[in-house]
A = this chain, B = another copy of it.
């Protein structure tokens, strides 16, 4: 069964989980989901290790993140790690990985997966991936669409059409992030799914699509893949010249016959501390706090002690506060209402403006 290739996308700027996330420690390198001490990227790779061997697992990440990413996945060979010299969104790195895989095996089946998502039902997840790989095997680029559970305005959607094979539907179109009323219509409909950025294809099929829609990008990436020696200068120039564009926009939206596997496996993009709270194990008052936290008249709070050294025991005491996130690291304490989690960026902006680079 270990016959597939996995391409795990591990870029990310790491501001939404400050102070846990930093430039050199973006979300996928954090352990922020319940029930696991593993980083999100390790969970991602472990989840599909029955499908892709370490040798067939590629990690596309920023060059500056290579060291940290290798430390998170120490059992992968060095060749697994693709260091992007510049962040150019997903099309260039997927093209690069596709070219490398295509050079080895043009008919290889490839799954592209984000590195920083949470999945609570691994069995359903693998089931959906099997269906998607089966569909990809038939020659169709295939994605997985998550059944919406709320009128989310922060995600793109996939409109599904007629049923193709068992468990697979045709993609009508990709839909940008909707407004609230539209998202509510999508939720009520049976035809709209969240786009989680998971793609499945035969290498040869993606090559043909890239040749058609992004010819110069493909040429550059194929040259890297076919270079007999050190390709680093080719990588540098390919990324310098590449347009910064998502694979959705550059390729997927233009395909004539793309497929989607509707699925429901307890998926979350873990987009903020708020979501970390939502996913967490709650006490009777809805607090997601480690044992030992002192809670007096305190409800629906999230506390995290992410100090690297815990030689000095430290208790967090919350008295009379609700709906707060309290995040502690070696060098920072963040206090922010859960519902304002997105505004963590504002704190990061203050530190940037101050030149406090050691905290970024």
Q: Which residues of A contact B (CB under 8 A)?
A: 19, 294-297, 312-321, 324, 326, 328, 330-337, 340, 343-344, 346-347, 350-351, 356, 359
Docked pose: A296 CA to B295 CA in angstroms = 26
Contact partner, A331, options B296, B314, B318, B343, Cβ 8 Å: B314
Docked pose: A252 CA to B313 CA in angstroms = 47
* Interface contact A319-B332, CB-CB below 8 Å: no
Find the B residue at minimum CB distance from A358. B313
* Interface contact A318-B335, CB-CB below 8 Å: yes
Contact partner, A326, options B295, B315, B335, B350, Cβ 8 Å: B335
* Interface contact A331-B319, CB-CB below 8 Å: no
A346 contact set on B, CB distance < 8 A? 296-297, 319
Min CB distance, A27 to chain B, in Å? Answer: 18
* Interface contact B320-A337, CB-CB below 8 Å: yes
A333 contact set on B, CB distance < 8 A? 314-317, 326, 328, 333
Docked pose: A346 CA to B350 CA in angstroms = 35
Docked pose: A337 CA to B350 CA in angstroms = 24
Counting from the closest, the 9 A-B pairs by CB-CB distance are A320-B340, A319-B336, A296-B346, A317-B347, A317-B334, A316-B333, A315-B332, A294-B350, A294-B347
Docked pose: A87 CA to B295 CA in angstroms = 30
Min CB distance, A348 to chain B, in Å? Answer: 9
* Interface contact B319-A321, CB-CB below 8 Å: no
Find the B residue at minimum CB distance from A295. B350
Docked pose: A343 CA to B297 CA in angstroms = 10
Docked pose: A239 CA to B324 CA in angstroms = 48
Besides A295-B350, A319-B335, A321-B324, 4 other A-B contacts (C-beta < 8 A): A296-B346, A314-B333, A317-B332, A320-B343
A351 contact set on B, CB distance < 8 A? 294, 315
A332 contact set on B, CB distance < 8 A? 314-317
Find the B residue at minimum CB distance from A344. B319
A324 contact set on B, CB distance < 8 A? 321, 335
Min CB distance, A11 to chain B, in Å? Answer: 25
Docked pose: A328 CA to B226 CA in angstroms = 57
Docked pose: A331 CA to B343 CA in angstroms = 28
Min CB distance, A333 to chain B, in Å? Answer: 5
Contact partner, A321, options B297, B320, B330, B336, Cβ 8 Å: B336
A-B contact pairs, 6 of them (CB 8 A): A294-B351, A296-B346, A297-B343, A314-B333, A315-B332, A319-B347
Min CB distance, A270 to chain B, in Å? Answer: 19
Find the B residue at minimum CB distance from A347. B317
Min CB distance, A302 to chain B, in Å? Answer: 12
Of A314, A334, A337, A346, most buried by chain B (CB within 10 Å of CB) is A314
* Interface contact A335-B347, CB-CB below 8 Å: no
A328 contact set on B, CB distance < 8 A? 333
Docked pose: A332 CA to B333 CA in angstroms = 12
* Interface contact A319-B294, CB-CB below 8 Å: no
A330 contact set on B, CB distance < 8 A? 312, 314
Find the B residue at minimum CB distance from A330. B312
Docked pose: A209 CA to B332 CA in angstroms = 57
* Interface contact B321-A337, CB-CB below 8 Å: yes
* Interface contact B335-A321, CB-CB below 8 Å: yes
Docked pose: A351 CA to B330 CA in angstroms = 24
